[in-house]
Amino acid sequence: MLLSWQRYKRRLEHERFQQQAQRQLEDKVAERTQDLTHEINQHKRTEKELRETQDELIQTAKLAVLGQMSTSISHELNNPLAAIRSYADNARQFLKLENVSQADENLGRIAALTERMARISSQLKAFARKSSGKLESINIAAIVQTALDIINPQLKHRHITIDTRQIDPALGVKADPIQLEQVLINLINNAINAIDSAHGEILIKTEPQQQWILIHVDDSGHGIRDQDLGKIFQPFFTTRKSGLGLGLSISARILDGMNGHLSASNRSDGGARFSISLGAAT
């Protein structure tokens, strides 16, 4: 009986020890789970803040580009306004002379000019708006044309031609159209600034590579100094006195977010090449 009692007592102690160990283990698991949940939530908050900061930087870069183009945009809008005023005054004179046909012709010209101004305003508004961040299949030729329509006022008083004949009209990529448009405008704007001669050329071409599509923006400027090639995508690095040094770094970050890549090199025949790599549209 004594032996049985001792065995029973040892079994009770063993069960108590197991229960105590189990409770301690459960407490540790619960504590660790709480810590992990806190870490996950903190990580999500940090990630959200980083995304919001990046979105704000992208928006700031857009406004900076619009600021650089403001003189050209103002000229592009002021010319039609002056013409509208002139056509309106002439139309009033024609009406006084009862020359209805000439007055009607002037009114038709006014209508055409207002449509042109509305297109410019619409393009600028579309460029300035925030993107959805969603990737979709987009046609490269169409997005390049949209970018050129926005930047065209800057070319009016420069002897710079932009050659897009080597863009395959059938090629598409997976990208955010608004963000890709911004990247293209940044690269074309940089190419324009890199050309300081009386005449220059910018060549935009596409190059398919298996599951990737490359979009090259070539300029006929002086190229990039070898010591600067490794720095140009760093934030705030610029070789221009009035530059912010954000355009290329933000462009590179935008493309990273679209599972793409931005690279730079010097052309063998002179000038610089910036290459966008994006996944081909399926």
* Cβ-defined contacts of 164-168 (< 8 Å, 24+): 164/204, 164/205, 166/203, 166/204, 166/205, 166/206, 167/140, 167/141, 167/204, 167/205, 167/206, 168/140, 168/141, 168/206, 168/208
pLDDT digits (tens, 9 = 90+) for 207-256: 999 899 999 999 998 899 888 888 888 877 777 765 656 678 888 888 98
Q: Measured between alpha carbons, how far is 150 from 133 in angstroms, rounded to an integer?
A: 21
Note whether 152 and 200 are within 8 A (CB): no
Q: Please give the chain's pLDDT, 282 residues, in tens.
A: 667 777 767 777 777 777 787 887 777 877 788 877 777 877 777 777 666 666 666 666 666 666 666 666 676 677 778 888 888 998 999 898 889 898 999 899 899 888 878 777 776 666 666 666 789 999 999 999 988 887 887 777 778 899 999 999 999 999 988 889 889 988 998 898 888 766 789 999 999 998 999 999 999 988 998 888 888 888 777 777 656 566 788 888 889 888 999 999 999 888 999 999 999 997
pLDDT of residue 63: 65
Q: Measured between alpha carbons, how far is 221 from 216 in angstroms, rounded to an integer?
A: 15
Select 132-279's CATH number: 3.30.565.10, 3.90.470.10, 3.40.50.300, 3.30.300.20.
Answer: 3.30.565.10
pTM to 2 decimals? 0.62
Q: Measured between alpha carbons, how far is 11 from 15 in angstroms, rounded to an integer?
A: 6
Backbone phi, then psi, for 218, in 5-degree steps? Answer: -105, 145
Backbone phi, then psi, for 222, in 5-degree steps? Answer: -85, -5
DSSP letter at 223 equals -
Domain spans of the chain, in order of start: 69-127, 132-279
Note whether 58 and 254 are within 8 A (CB): yes
Q: Measured between alpha carbons, how far is 250 from 247 in angstroms, rounded to an integer?
A: 5
What is the signed CA dihedral for 248, 62, 132, 185, rounded to 10 degrees?
-60
Q: Is 77 exposed, middle or buried (0-12, 13-18, 19+ CB in 10 A)?
A: middle
Backbone phi, then psi, for 197, in 5-degree steps? Answer: -85, 170
